[in-house]
Every structure is written in C-alpha cells, then in structure tokens.
Chain A
Amino acid sequence: MATAVTESVFQDTPLVVGGRTFRSRLLVGTGKYKDNAVMVRALEASGAEVVTVAVRRISLDRTKEEGILYHLDPGRFFLLANTAGCYTAEDAVRYARLAREAGFNQFVKLEVIGDQKTLLPDVAGLLEAARTLVKEGCKVMAYTNDDLVTALRLEDAGCVAVMPLASPIGSGLGLLNPYSIRTIKARLTVPVIVDAGVGTASDACVTMEQGVDGLLMNTAIAEAADAVAMAHAMRLATEAGRAAFLAGRMPRREVAVPSSPTAGMLA
C-alpha cells in the first residue's frame, strides 16, 4: 500500500522500547472488532508491529473458539499483554504474571484502573504494581494519567515506557491537554507513548506532532464504520504527525504575513 511519505524524504529513527526496536510508532489494540477477519486486515493496514491483547479465562464449553492466537501470528506481531480490567495492584500483578507465563516476552502494558465510569488510572496502585513487576524482571509499559509527577515516578520505578492518555479509554475525545503531554515528553528519558482517547486521524496527527515517541489506540479503529480504512488513515496520520514534528513547525503569529513577494507589484 502506498504511503504519503516516502523513505527518501522522511528519515526517522526507530522506536526503541525496553531494548526492542520497532519501525512503526503506531501500536494497536485487538479488542472490539466486528470479527476476527476484519481485525487481522485492520492490523495489517495499520502497519503496527506491536498489538495489545488481554488475559481472560478460557471458555470451558468448547463451542466457541475465542483465543486470539488462532487469528494472530505471534511470529509476525509483537504481543503486548495488558492488565485491563484490574482495579488493584495485586490483581494487575497476577494478570501480568499469567501473561508472562504464556512465554512470548517480558513486556506488559500495565493498567490499574481506579474508577469504573472514567476508567482513569489509580496511580498509587499503578506505582505499586510497577515496582513489584520491575523487580521480577518485567518490562513495564505503564498506562497513566497525563500527569508529569506520576510519569516521573513511573520512570524512577523502572518502567521501560510511560503511556499517558490523550483522553479517557474509548472516549474518542482526542488530545485534551497537549501541554501536559509535551511537558511529560520533555522531562522523561524513556519513550512516551500516548495511549487511549484518539478518535480520528487528525487526533493521531496532532498527538504525534507533540513529539511523543508513539501512539497506542484500539477503539478509534475498531469502532470506525470501516475499520480497515481507518487503520490505514491512522497509519498515515501517525507518520504525518511524526514527520511534521521532526520537520519543525513554523511559529504561530497573530497577524498575517503574505506568502508572495510584496515587491514587484504593478504600479
């Protein structure tokens, strides 16, 4: 599939997280798709290498086969297990350990949710779980609020990436606080990957223009009327936002400045 930016003009460094190198800065979730065939085509269209998965009980009546690995090739995608749905540090650690035992990698997307209505993180529980898992050798990518101090503490705790939200999970509200995201990016050494809240391609573009290292999304693609087409749009928008950031934007002015020469006008 043709992309709007060509390799020759757009020279970017790869995304490196916890010692792993990725070419795509777009990370994609695998939940809520209409069906598995659409999911697989959307993942391909997104160009993502990292895809998130959740840990759940296997269905004991063998009538339905809902395991994601029947549809996803773990040799092709990097499986990032999450701890979605966990409301305590203890639960999140339990899920992370189960995920690690599956044997794909040591990475976990750590979520400790603090509120059912907003799904905003419980940052105290998050820090506690992060410290425990880092000690056990996990490479923790922490889903967190757009709060600088929490982000700094997560970095201190040894997280390999900090993932502040653009807006609440599944809300599609886009980037609500670009200032906070820029501040976090400016102060952290580990990669900053914005996770949750983008609704459409312009949101992805604006988010990447803040200079963050990557972007993780699920609902914006899965709930689009055409998920595969939206995945393609998100790929372009992520690349466009990244390219624009690297290019360096012009300053904002309160007055107009003509683009054409003022000299040489007819008398």
Chain B
Amino acid sequence: MIAPLPRLHAVTDDRTVAAGGIVERAAALAVAAGPELAVHVRTRALGGAALLDLARAVGAALAPHGGWLVVNDRADVARAAGARALQLGRGALDVQAARRVVPGMPVGRSVHDEASARAARAEGADYLVAGPLFATASHPGTAAAGPALVRRAAATGLPVIAIGGLTPERAGAALEAGAWGVAAVRALWDEADPGAAARAFLAALPAAATLPVVVNGESRVVPAGTTLRGLLEQLDLDPRAVVVEHNRRIVRRDALETARLAAGDAVELVHFVGGG
C-alpha cells in the first residue's frame, strides 16, 4: 500500500509566498489535517535556490504529520526537495519528460476543460487538479467551469482534486460531482487560524464515494467498497486467467470476493505471455 493522495490541498501562489509565514502556516495546517494535507509550493517569483529552500522547509513542517509536499512545475526542485508529488501546470513539462527527472513520483496535471483532462490521462498523469470550479480572485477574468468540470475530469478514471473558489460550504458540491478532494488558496492561507480552516474543510468532506488506487502502475479510481473480484469485473478480466497481487501479497482466487480495496492500494494483475 502506498499513502493515498491527500484530500485537502493547500496551494500557494506568488501573493501568499510574498506575504511570508508559509512554513509556520503549513505547520499549523499539518497539525490539523495530518496525512489528509498536501501543500503545493507554487510560485514563479522565486529562483531555484530560494524555491528549494522554501520547499525543504515546508516538507520538514509536513513530514512529522504525514502531509505531502507537492512542488509545482519544477521537477528538479521536486526531486531535490524529496517531494511526495509533482504538479504540472499550464506550460510545464509534459508528464513523460517529468518522469525522467522524478521516476516513481506521482505526477498531477492541472486541467481546465474536458480536452485537457483527456490529454493529461493520455500523457499518463496520476491525478488531476481541475478548475476553476467557482469564480476566484486568484484568476480574475477566468470563467468558472462549475462542478460539471469535475464530472468530466472524473470520467477519465483518474482521481480529481477540485480547485477554484472552494470553501468548506462548497466542498460538498465538488465531491458530489466525483472529486476525491479539494484545493484552496485563500480559504486556507488567508485565514487568521489556518488549522481551524483546515478542520472546517475536512469536516465538510463526506466519505469519498470513490477511492484512488494504482492498478498495474496506473492510477485510477474505484467506487468505495470495491472488492478485488469487483475490480476484475470492472476491467472485464476473467479471474481464472489472472493472478492478483494486492499490496505485494498474492490473493488466492477464493479470497478475491472478500478482499476490499482501500485508498492508495497497489494492485498487480499478471498473466502468462510468450517468453524464453
């Protein structure tokens, strides 16, 4: 089992980074949200050295609580800082190029419509950050896509994090549309008590209807409660023609019915092919 993608993403931008206090606020968020938290270090205002310093400091604040450091766009900095994931925004490297820099690291893609979501899936992204859902001060002038964008992004089968004008009150709508989690800038960083804001978000996230898992190295979501037998059925695979490994343990055929998938589970489905 690998740690599942967090459900609450605190995303920085040039403004929040310039305001300072990111590391202290990240620590407060981490205490409140633990492994449910990802902090995205995202700014184009800093050079490589300063960005790496910031990423390392944020990573150190998150690590004791299990939160994820996510570095945006800069694969080199993500690798150097030991980030848990790399997030690729508009104009960033493509996923395959990024993987050469950060092999084995989950890579997310920021998408804003159905076409970019499909392109991200085809590129091999592990999850999507889809937005803006609602009007947001971070992107004035960008039309809000509404929860329908989440539905279209989720149709790729990848876990979706909704972003753009998200507040605890609006989180439910994003999840209803099929999001695994939510991301926010102002609603987390601008609050006087970031920990209380994080707790309010988490309280507003109902149990997810879907779970992110990794099957044969590919990220995908399955309905909560899916058994291994159910996964094989979804994939149209004959249980007699496949051997199943669940989090590195082989599952006997008669146990497929009862073994349930949890968020972050790794499943390998193998069979015999021609060989010497």
Q: Say yes or no: is A254 at the interface (Cβ < 8 Å to chain B).
A: no
Closest chain-B Cβ to A53's Cβ sits at a distance in Å of 4
**Inter-subunit contact A57/B217 (CB<8 Å):** yes
Q: Say yes or no: is B243 at the interface (Cβ < 8 Å to chain A).
A: yes
Which residues of B (211-253) have their CB < 8 Å from a CB of A? 215-218, 235-237, 241-243, 245, 248, 250, 252
Report the contact-size class of chain A (Cβ under 8 Å from the partner). 35 or more
**Inter-subunit contact A81/B270 (CB<8 Å):** no
**Inter-subunit contact B275/A98 (CB<8 Å):** no
Q: How far is the CA of A30 from the CA of B268 in the complex (A)?
A: 23
Q: How far is the CA of A84 from the CA of B276 in the complex (A)?
A: 8
Q: How far is the CA of A156 from the CA of B213 in the complex (A)?
A: 43
Q: Say yes or no: is A117 at the interface (Cβ < 8 Å to chain B).
A: no
Q: Per-residue 0/1 for B251-276: is the Cβ within 8 Å of any A Cβ (1 yes, 0 no)? A: 01000000000000000111111111
**Inter-subunit contact B242/A60 (CB<8 Å):** no
Q: Which residue among A33, A52, A67, A81 has the maximum number of chain B CB atoms within 10 Å of its CB?
A: A67
Find chain B residues with CB under 8 A from A62 CB: 235-236
Q: How far is the CA of A216 from the CA of B276 in the complex (A)?
A: 8
Contact partner of B245 (CB less than 8 A), chosen from A30, A52, A66, A98, is A98
**Inter-subunit contact B216/A67 (CB<8 Å):** no
Find chain B residues with CB under 8 A from A97 CB: 250
**Inter-subunit contact B276/A219 (CB<8 Å):** yes
**Inter-subunit contact A67/B252 (CB<8 Å):** no
Closest chain-A Cβ to B248's Cβ sits at a distance in Å of 8
Residue of A nearest to B248 (CB): A94
Find chain B residues with CB under 8 A from A267 CB: none
Find chain B residues with CB under 8 A from A94 CB: 248
**Inter-subunit contact B275/A54 (CB<8 Å):** yes
Are A67 and B273 also in contact (CB < 8 A) when A57-B217, A102-B243 are? Answer: yes
Q: How far is the CA of A102 from the CA of B215 in the complex (A)?
A: 19
Which residues of A (139-155) have their CB < 8 Å from a CB of B? none
Residue of A nearest to B251 (CB): A101
Q: How far is the CA of A62 from the CA of B241 in the complex (A)?
A: 14
Find chain A residues with CB under 8 A from B273 CB: 31, 53-56, 66-68
Q: Say yes or no: is A250 at the interface (Cβ < 8 Å to chain B).
A: no
Are A52 and B243 also in contact (CB < 8 A) when A60-B215, A97-B250 are? Answer: no
Closest chain-B Cβ to A43's Cβ sits at a distance in Å of 11
**Inter-subunit contact A55/B272 (CB<8 Å):** yes
**Inter-subunit contact B272/A54 (CB<8 Å):** yes
**Inter-subunit contact A33/B274 (CB<8 Å):** yes
**Inter-subunit contact B272/A81 (CB<8 Å):** yes
Which residues of A (45-65) have their CB < 8 Å from a CB of B? 52-58, 60, 62
Closest chain-A Cβ to B103's Cβ sits at a distance in Å of 16
**Inter-subunit contact B276/A32 (CB<8 Å):** yes
Q: Say yes or no: is A218 at the interface (Cβ < 8 Å to chain B).
A: yes
**Inter-subunit contact B274/A98 (CB<8 Å):** no
Closest chain-B Cβ to A64's Cβ sits at a distance in Å of 11
**Inter-subunit contact B216/A30 (CB<8 Å):** no
Residue of B nearest to A62 (CB): B236
Q: How far is the CA of A39 from the CA of B241 in the complex (A)?
A: 20
Find chain B residues with CB under 8 A from A57 CB: 216-217, 268-270
Find chain A residues with CB under 8 A from B245 CB: 98
Closest chain-A Cβ to B140's Cβ sits at a distance in Å of 41
Q: Say yes or no: is A169 at the interface (Cβ < 8 Å to chain B).
A: yes
Q: Say yes or no: is A210 at the interface (Cβ < 8 Å to chain B).
A: no
Find chain A residues with CB under 8 A from B243 CB: 55, 98-99, 101-102
**Inter-subunit contact B236/A82 (CB<8 Å):** no
Q: How far is the CA of A55 from the CA of B275 in the complex (A)?
A: 8
Closest chain-B Cβ to A225's Cβ sits at a distance in Å of 19
Closest chain-B Cβ to A121's Cβ sits at a distance in Å of 14
Contact partner of A102 (CB less than 8 A), chosen from B216, B268, B272, B276, is B272
Q: How far is the CA of A79 from the CA of B275 in the complex (A)?
A: 11
Closest chain-A Cβ to B96's Cβ sits at a distance in Å of 18
Which residues of A (69-89) have their CB < 8 Å from a CB of B? 69, 79, 81-82, 84
Contact partner of B269 (CB less than 8 A), chosen from A58, A82, A219, is A58
Which residues of A (184-234) have their CB < 8 Å from a CB of B? 196, 216-219
Q: How far is the CA of A245 from the CA of B272 in the complex (A)?
A: 35
The 4 closest A-B pairs by CB, nearest first: A54-B275, A218-B276, A29-B276, A30-B274
Task: List 18 interface pairs A-B (beta carbons < 8 Å), by A numbering.
Answer: A30-B275, A31-B273, A52-B275, A52-B276, A53-B273, A54-B273, A55-B271, A57-B216, A57-B268, A58-B269, A60-B215, A60-B218, A66-B273, A67-B241, A67-B272, A69-B272, A98-B268, A101-B243
